[in-house]
Structure 1
Amino acid sequence: MPVSSISGSLSSPQVDVVIETGNPYLNLTVDGFLKIGTVAATRALAEDTYHIVRKGSVSSNDFEKTLKKMCKEGAYWGTISGVYLGVEYGVEKIRGTRDWKNAVFGGAVTGALVSAATNNKADKIAVDAITGAAIATAAEFINGWNY
């Protein structure tokens, strides 16, 4: 009986754009802003392209709306990423160790700051801080850190 198999490997794409500011803290923050901001802008473009294709026509208004949405989403998610990475790196330097606890603190601070910036009440800010901590910690464990 014939037998077949598939072999190969799956790897994450590697994108390296280096902006050297002379400060490792700022380098990390800017790098996160650029990478996550680009992903968010691309997602906005793909979403709007889908809606335009479904509609069946494109106008200059659609193009302008999509461009504005890409800039807004890229800036928003890039800023969140930059804040998170900056806080996590700062905590790592203060504590002198790199572990999942830095992600907990970085996620909590980022979640609270984003929530407070949108004028939420104290209970919502606390919940968003907990959510940020949980997401950041889960991402650290998924990325395979051996703690």
Structure 2
Amino acid sequence: MPSSHFMGSLSTPKVDVAIDTGNPFLNASVDGFLKIGTVAATRALAEEVYHAVDKGNLSSRSVEHALKKMCKEGAYWGTVAGVYVGMEYGVERVRGTSDWKNAMIGGAITGALISAASNKSKDKVVIDAITGGALATASKFINHLT
């Protein structure tokens, strides 16, 4: 019985843009903003291209809508990522250790801040803090699996 298999390795290109603000906290926050903001903008673009192809309609209005959505999504998710990376870095500096607890605390603080900034109720802020902490912790654990 014939069989086939794939052997090899795949690697992703590494793109690093270093912006040195002279402060490690700000460097980490800006780096998170840029990387995740770019991912969010790319996701928005892919979604808009899909809708344009699906409808068979590409107009200047749809391009303008896509650009606005890219900017909005990129700015929002970049801001969330920048706040999270900055909080995790700050917690690490305060605690003096690097472990999953920094991610949990940083995620919880970020969830609470973003929720509070959106004028949510006290209960929603607490729920968003719990969710932020859980997602950040899960992300750390997944990173250690690979």
Q: After alignment, is 84-93 or 17-26 more displaced?
A: 17-26
Residue of structure 1 equivalent to 2:56: 56
Residue of structure 1 equivalent to 2:137: 137
Residue of structure 2 equivalent to 1:25: 25
Per the TM alignment, residue 11 of structure 1 is displaced from its structure 2 partner at its CA by: 3.7
**1:123-134 to 2 correspondences below 5 Å:** 123-134=123-134
Once residues 46 and 34 of structure 1 are traced to their aligned partners in structure 2, the CA distance between those partners, rounded to angstroms, is: 18
Task: State the Cα RMSD in Å.
Answer: 1.3
**1:79-90 to 2 correspondences below 5 Å:** 79-90=79-90
CA offset digits 1:9-50 (Å, max 9, x no partner): 244442211111111111111000000000000000000110
Residue of structure 1 equivalent to 2:99: 99
Per the TM alignment, residue 117 of structure 1 is displaced from its structure 2 partner at its CA by: 1.2
Correspondence 1:75 to 2:60: no
Identity between Structure 1 and Structure 2 (%): 68
Once residues 125 and 139 of structure 1 are traced to their aligned partners in structure 2, the CA distance between those partners, rounded to angstroms, is: 21
Q: Report the 3-state secondary structure (helix = DSSP H, G, I; strand = E; otherwise coil) of the residue aligned with 2:144.
A: coil
**Is there any run of 5+ residues in structure 2 with no aligned partner, and where?**
none
TM-score under structure 1 normalisation? 0.94
Once residues 61 and 12 of structure 2 are traced to their aligned partners in structure 1, the CA distance between those partners, rounded to angstroms, is: 36
AA in 1 matched with 2:58:
V
Q: After alignment, is 4-13 or 108-117 more displaced?
A: 4-13
**Is there any run of 5+ residues in structure 1 with no aligned partner, and where?**
none
TM-score under structure 2 normalisation? 0.94
Count of residue correspondences: 145
